[in-house]
Amino acid sequence: MATIDDKRVGTKEEEEDFLTGPLSVLMQSVKNNSQVLINVRNNHKLLARVKAFDRHCNMVLENVKEMWTEVPKSTKGKGKPKNVERFISKMFLRGDSVILVLRNPHA
């Protein structure tokens, strides 16, 4: 059985993992207030600033631009796919829906 010591909660080792490991992209975003592009499970993309996160990739996001493509379900003709986007000022994103996190390539 795992003990509390095994979980490394709030330890220096966990902080070092955030600075050097895969979560370093999120840590840099929090420190520099820079944008990240997050691909989530429903094929939506989120361009946002990360305010906080944890090791499960749960995130508090600000200034979120959500983008996705809608294909009309018309029976007669070929419907053109339509790019849709919306703005969300503050959002909590559950980590199990996160697929990929990238630094903003335009920043």
Label the pairing between strands 45-53 and 98-103.
unpaired
Read off the pTM: 0.79
- Domains of the chain (ranges, CATH numbers): 11-103 (2.30.30.100)
pLDDT digits (tens, 9 = 90+) for 23-80: 889 999 999 999 999 999 999 999 999 999 999 999 999 999 999 999 888 756 677 8
Q: What is the DSSP letter of 75?
A: S
Confidence band of 98 (pLDDT split at 50, 70, 90) = very high
What local confidence, expressed as pLDDT, does residue 53 receive? Answer: 93
Please state the rounded mean pLDDT for residues 93-99: 95
